[in-house]
Amino acid sequence: MFDVQGASFAIDGKHLLQPIHHTFQEGKVYGLIGHNGSGKSTLIKLLAQQYPVSQGDIHFNQRPLNTWGNREFARHVAYLPQHLPSAENLTGRELIAFGRYPWHGLLGRHNQKDKDAIERAIALTHTEALADRLVDTLSGGERQRVWLAMLIAQGSRFLLLDEPLAALDIAHQMDVLALIRKLCNELNLGVVIVLHDINMASRYCDELMALHSGRLLAHGTPDELMHSSTLEAIYGLPMHVMTHPNGNHPIAVAQ
């Protein structure tokens, strides 16, 4: 698990993230919510070793985060950035195969275990029909499924996902989140995901963490956090909370 012990991040004397104390465990989906610039991406980048901690500490599996080498860390934690690198001229299967990089490096040859991990990731994410197509020809939702398959092929226990729903329509958003929820349940993964849609977060996450101006304002299950006063403090506008008519999770609408 991740154990965040008063970790903060500052650049040029400006604190983008105030000290945070929290733990992230396997088998749960954690949704980071809040307005733009609230510190969501900063927190996930600290967990992913993309930014160094300015103060405090973060431990992963009871070891300080800064003692993990990049490839060793990637065998346990997979990170999907907000802005994805180019996958030009790669098929879905070729991109998914890059998930085995932490085990061999770029020039390592795939053995049977690697091939099995790649095919298992394709099966788990239902990307068989996408495996032999060029990634650049896929729709946004299809492309996100292939990138998630790459993370699964990596064999990591934690997924750190920075706004994976950006630029997706609502149908593809639900498709991707349902897949993430399914993978968490079936593989007992820990998932930390940055989301903008509070109702999507309520539906698919086990725990919500609300950040505001670099501070952890509130956290808890959707039932614990989804209250009008809390949401108004997070987003700065009156919100009405009700139970979804076709489910048992709370939803919020602006008044």
Q: What are the domain boundaries of the chain?
A: 2-216
pLDDT, residue 108, reads 65
Query: Quick one: pLDDT at residue 169?
Result: 87
158 and 76 in contact (C-beta within 8 Å)? Answer: yes
> Given this model, what pLDDT does residue 106 score?
61
CA distance 114 to 148: 17
Q: What is the pLDDT of residue 91?
A: 96
pLDDT along the chain (255 residues), means of 10: 95 91 96 92 96 95 94 94 86 93 75 91 93 92 91 94 87 90 94 94 96 94 94 90 86 88
- Confidence at residue 7, expressed as pLDDT on a 0 to 100 scale: 96
| DSSP character at residue 109 | P
What is the homologous superfamily of the domain 2-216 according to CATH?
P-loop containing nucleotide triphosphate hydrolases (3.40.50.300)
Q: CA 101 → CA 14, 94, 105, 150, distances in Å?
A: 36, 12, 5, 10
Other CB atoms within 10 A of residue 244 CB? 12
**Torsional class of 202: left (φ above 0), alpha (ψ -120 to 50), beta (otherwise):** alpha
Report yes or no on whether pTM surpasses 0.85: yes
Angstrom distance (rounded) from CA 130 to CA 123: 11
User: What pLDDT is attached to residue 29?
Assistant: 97
**CA dihedral for 117, 122, 125, 131, sign (positive or negative):** positive
